[in-house]
Amino acid sequence: MLTFPEIDPVIFSIGFVKIRWYGLMYVLAFVFAWLLARRRARASDSPLTLIQVDDLIFYGMLGVILGGRLGYALFYGWQDLISDPLYIFKITQGGMSFHGGLVGVIVAVWLYGRKVGLRIWTMTDFVAPIGPLGLGFGRIGNFINGELWGKPTDVPWAFKVGNESLHPSQLYEALLEGLVLFLIVWFFSAKKRPYMAVSGLFLVCYGAFRFFVEFYRVPDAHLDYLALGWVTMGQVLSAPMIAMGAVMLVLAYRGHAAREA
C-alpha cells in the first residue's frame, strides 16, 4: 500500500496571487496541445497552417474553459445552479467537466473552421490527436489536489487516504485517457484516414476508457449512482460517445469504400 503524500495544491504565492498545481496542469495541457498541433500542421497534407494553429489553440482554450465549467454546472451541479444562477461563476465550488469541455471544444473548432473555410470533421480530425495528453495532465492535477478518489480496495498500488485504502482512479484515468489514448489516436492519425475516422476513434476510445474507470471511481456524493446500483453520471455521458464514435467510424469507412469503388 502507498501513502498519499498530501501535496500542497499551492506551489507558491506572490502576494494574494496563488499559483496552483491544478492551474499548472492546464498550462502544460495547452502548451503540449500547441506543440503537437504545430507538428501536425507541418505535414504536407495538413488542413491548417502554423499561423492558423495559434488561433485554433486560443479558440480551443476558450472552449475547454467555458464548456468545462458550464458542463459541470449542468451535468453535476444542476441543483446548485437552479438554486443559485451565479453558481456557474463560483469556480471554487465544484470543478470542470470533460464532457462539457469536449462540447465546448467542438463548438470552438467549428466556429474557427467556419472562419477559415474548413468542415467540422476536418477540424476535429486535426484536433483529436492533440488533446489526450492534456486530459492526462488534468487527471494528475486531480491527484495532486486529492480529489476524485476511487473505491476502497486492497490492491498493492492502493493509496492510504485517511483511514482508507483507495483506488487511485485519477491515475488510472491519466494513464488510459491521457497516455494510452494519445498513443492510439496519434499513431492512427499518422497515416491518411477517411474523413471523420480519427474523430470517431477518439470518441470510442475515450468513452470506453472512461466507462471502465467509472467502475473504480466513487461517484459524486450529491448524485451517487443513477441506476442499478452502479451506473454513474460519467457512464451516462460516456455511453453516447462510444455509440456516436462507432457510427462515425462505420460511416467514414463505408464512405471511403464507396468512393474507391
Per residue in 119-177, pLDDT tens? 999 999 999 999 999 999 999 999 998 888 999 999 999 999 988 999 999 999 999 99
Q: Which residue, 154, 182, 7, 147, is CA-closest to 72?
A: 147
Report d(CA 158, CA 168) in Å as an integer: 6
**Which of the four pLDDT bands, split at 50, 70 and 90, describes residue 93?**
low
pTM of the shown model: 0.89
Report d(CA 91, CA 221) in Å as an integer: 18
Pairing label, strands 17-20, 159-161 = unpaired
Q: Would the pLDDT of 91 be above 80?
A: no
Q: Would the pLDDT of 89 be above 80?
A: no
Q: Would the pLDDT of 209 be above 50?
A: yes
Domain ranges of the chain: 2-260
The pLDDT tens digits for 7-54 are 888 898 888 788 888 889 999 999 999 999 999 999 989 999 999 999
Proportion of the chain above pLDDT 70, given as a percent: 93
